[in-house]
């Protein structure tokens, strides 16, 4: 698998999870928040399909969704939605480092979109200075 296809598959897996999770979120909400959850469920389904198409166009076999997912523990449906978005954000990171400029741009935009959605759900500012990155990814490797 090329690095680009591998990165796209990781993002696709996160989108499958988000589609599943938003179904749960919507079922537990009413009124305006429910409408918002449904809109985001639709948005994640569209993004899922877009990524699957990119993978097959590149000669890959898009990963199938799981039957069920163990969802992040969250006190409220809104916080569950925020956690789902954070998962999508983290899954964009490999794609932000591939060779294709278009895919990098898509990844960077995806991370900002996911973060904005997470903040809207949680009403709290980003907790980390480097969302989605592990400590090793933040610090540069020592030069020989």
Partner 1 sequence: MPLSRRAVLGGALALGLTGCDEKAPEELRAGPEVAILLTAIAGEEQMITLYEGVAAAHPGLSASVAGPLEHHREHLAQLRRHYLPGTGRATPAQTPVLPPIPVPAGRAPALTALRAAEKMAAAARIKDVTQVPPGLAQLFASIGACEAGHAQALMYR
Q: Binding residues for partner 1, per CB under 8 A?
A: 89, 92-93, 96-99, 101, 104-105, 107-109, 111-112, 114-116, 118-120, 123-126, 128-133, 137-141, 143
| CB of residue 102 to partner 1, shortest distance in Å | 8
Q: Which is nearer to partner 1, 3 or 72 (CB)?
A: 3
Q: Which is nearer to partner 1, 54 or 89 (CB)?
A: 89
Q: Which is nearer to partner 1, 62 or 103 (CB)?
A: 103
Q: Which is nearer to partner 1, 73 or 141 (CB)?
A: 141
| CB of residue 54 to partner 1, shortest distance in Å | 17
| Closest-CA residue to 82 (of 113, 118, 116) | 118
d(CA 17, CA 47): 12
| CB of residue 97 to partner 1, shortest distance in Å | 4
Token pair for 128: 């980390």
d(CA 79, CA 120): 10
| CB of residue 89 to partner 1, shortest distance in Å | 6
19-55 per-residue burial string, b: 16 or more CB within 10 A, e: under 16: bbbbebbbeebeeebeebbeebbebbeebbeebbebb
């Amino acid at each position: 698998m090329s690095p680009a296809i591998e990165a796209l598959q990781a993002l696709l897996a996160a989108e499958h999870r988000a589609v599943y999770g938003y179904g749960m979120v919507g079922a537990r909400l009413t009124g305006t928040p429910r409408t918002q959850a449904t809109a985001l469920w639709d948005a994640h389904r569209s993004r899922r399909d877009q990524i699957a198409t990119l993978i097959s166009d590149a000669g890959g076999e898009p990963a199938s969704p799981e039957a069920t997912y163990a969802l992040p523990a969250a006190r409220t449906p809104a916080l569950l939605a925020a956690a789902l978005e954070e998962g999508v954000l983290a899954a964009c990171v490999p794609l932000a480092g591939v060779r294709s400029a278009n895919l990098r741009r898509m990844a960077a935009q995806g991370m900002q979109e996911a973060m904005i959605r997470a903040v809207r759900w949680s009403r709290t500012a980003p907790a980390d200075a480097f969302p989605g990155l592990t400590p090793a990814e933040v610090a540069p490797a020592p030069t020989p």
